[in-house]
């Protein structure tokens, strides 16, 4: 009597290596930046010779270098062994960036969520991805979409949602001086855009109107 054939076994996919994410900008020249900052301040009619202002060009250069230098990180993912298929949402992630039109800061919070596919993401990496794209001259609309598109491409989830609420000092401290005004932007991809139930759940948990 012939023996039954051994059951076929699907190959176990290899665990992907953690992706090292590094900002692609060249290193800052702090000496040149300090010199330019001093010239800029003096061109506005401000005397930098006083004790309080003498070190301001250097402090200004270092401050902007920090704002434009996201920390490198490893994008670690893990197998979704339990087949979890509900929303994963990190709320109220602190955000700071710089408006590319005036080089003035905008600050606020971001809500970032996704519907897992085959892999899940270390939760702290949602904040790291936000920082990676925020630490450069930005506009809020682009920042929102960059975070969502990048997570969709790297994680291949069933859906991604990003909501950002921020106060722009280029709007509140100058020009119209609309103190207290905030700007909200959102990007929804995959099922969080096409499936009404998933979309409603995400918007409800982030506090946005459905």
Active-site residue set = 99-102, 140, 168, 170
Q: Give 106's strand partners.
A: 97, 168
Candidates 154, 181, 159; CA nearest to 169 is 181
- Burial class of residue 166, CB neighbours in 10 A (0-12, 13-18, 19+): buried
Max Cα–Cα distance, the chain, nearest Å? 100
CB 170 within 8 A of CB 102: yes
CB 50 within 8 A of CB 41: no
Q: Give 166's strand partners.
A: 108, 183
Give the CA count within 13 Å in the CB-facing half-sphere of 139.
3
Residue 29 CB contacts under 8 Å (≥ 6 apart), including other chains: none
């Amino acid at each position: 009597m012939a023996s039954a054939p051994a059951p076929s076994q699907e190959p176990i996919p290899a665990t992907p290596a953690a992706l090292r994410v590094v900002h692609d900008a060249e290193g800052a020249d702090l000496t040149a930046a300090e010199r330019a900052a001093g010239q800029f301040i003096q061109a506005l009619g401000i005397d930098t010779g006083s004790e309080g202002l003498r070190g301001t060009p250097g402090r200004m250069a270092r401050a902007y270098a920090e704002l434009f230098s996201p920390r490198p990180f490893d994008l670690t993912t893990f197998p979704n062994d339990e087949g979890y298929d509900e929303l994963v949402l990190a709320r109220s992630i602190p955000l700071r960036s710089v408006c590319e039109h005036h080089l003035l800061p905008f600050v606020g919070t971001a809500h970032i969520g996704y519907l897992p596919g085959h892999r899940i993401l270390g939760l702290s990496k949602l904040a790291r991805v936000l920082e990676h794209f925020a630490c450069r001259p930005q506009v809020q609309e682009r920042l929102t979409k960059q975070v969502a598109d990048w997570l969709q491409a790297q994680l291949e989830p069933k859906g991604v949602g990003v909501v950002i609420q921020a106060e722009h000092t280029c709007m509140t401290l100058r020009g119209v001086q609309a103190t207290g005004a905030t700007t909200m932007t959102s990007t929804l991809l995959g099922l969080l855009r096409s499936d009404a139930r998933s979309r409603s759940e995400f918007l409800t948990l982030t506090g946005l109107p459905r």
